[in-house]
Amino acid sequence: MVNTISTPVKDFFTVINERQSVRKYDPNVSISKEELRDIIKMAGKAPSAWNLQHWHFVIIHGKEAQQRLYPIANHQQQIVDASAVIAVLGDLEANKNTDAVYDPLVHEGAMSQEIKERIAQQIEAAYKNKQYARDAAFNNASLAAMQLMLVATAKGWATCPIGGFNAEQFKQEFRIPDRYIPIMLITIGKSVAPARRSTRLPIETITTWVER
């Protein structure tokens, strides 16, 4: 196995244009835990409602672990050929992060206890609605997933988001607590073939202007 850690400096717009969904990877290239931690750390800087950081990452790293995921992900070859697979989970109980997020700010004097308690009340009121909790889990975890793929691209790795997998089987196989809901899988590795050619809809098709 070849450990490859690549940290090129790339312009943001270059990263945007380079990011593609790559499905064919070199199975002989590995990625270190340190590199994966760095990517996850940067992905975790994504925005989230109330800064509750509604995401959790399960990193399937190693061919034996990836083989366990292979049938759950409909036998897609990229699952086993990639250097790792990152499962992005949404947190259905992100309201439980309130103290961990806001107490340090209160301790530092950056926020008053009164404001923290007011925010906590808003959060608890919102999380009484289970549909809100589910929507927030999907919306916010997806922001982190997109950021993860952009960070990986900036560091020279190819990625592909995957929605085609059995979420319930995934939870059972990897013992995922009910607090979390699987959002997507992201393969990461070194490409051995170009991504499939894709097109984008004209901007006129995807925009509506409201000016008055």
pLDDT digits (tens, 9 = 90+) for 22-60: 999 999 999 999 999 999 999 999 999 999 999 999 999
Domain-embedded: residue 127: no
Residue 59 maps to which CATH number?
Answer: 3.40.109.10
Domain hosting 52: range is 2-91+138-206
Domain-embedded: residue 121: no
Residue range 66-89: mean pLDDT, rounded: 98
Cα atoms in the 13 Å half-sphere on the side-chain side of 202: 2
Rounded distance between C-alpha atoms, residue 50 and residue 59, angstroms: 26
Residue range 65-89: mean pLDDT, rounded: 98
Segments in 127-193 forming alpha helices (H): 130-154, 167-173
pLDDT recorded at residue 9? 66
In 10 A of CB 9, how many CB atoms? 6
Q: What is the domain count for the chain?
A: 1
Lowest mean pLDDT among 106-120, 139-153, 157-171, 198-212: 198-212
Rounded distance between C-alpha atoms, residue 97 and residue 178, angstroms: 16
Domain-embedded: residue 35: yes
Determine the distance from the C-alpha atom of residue 5 to the mean position of all C-alpha atoms in its chain, rounded to a whole number.
Answer: 20
pLDDT recorded at residue 2? 47
Domain-embedded: residue 108: no
Predicted confidence band of residue 8 (pLDDT cuts 50, 70, 90): low
pLDDT recorded at residue 195? 82
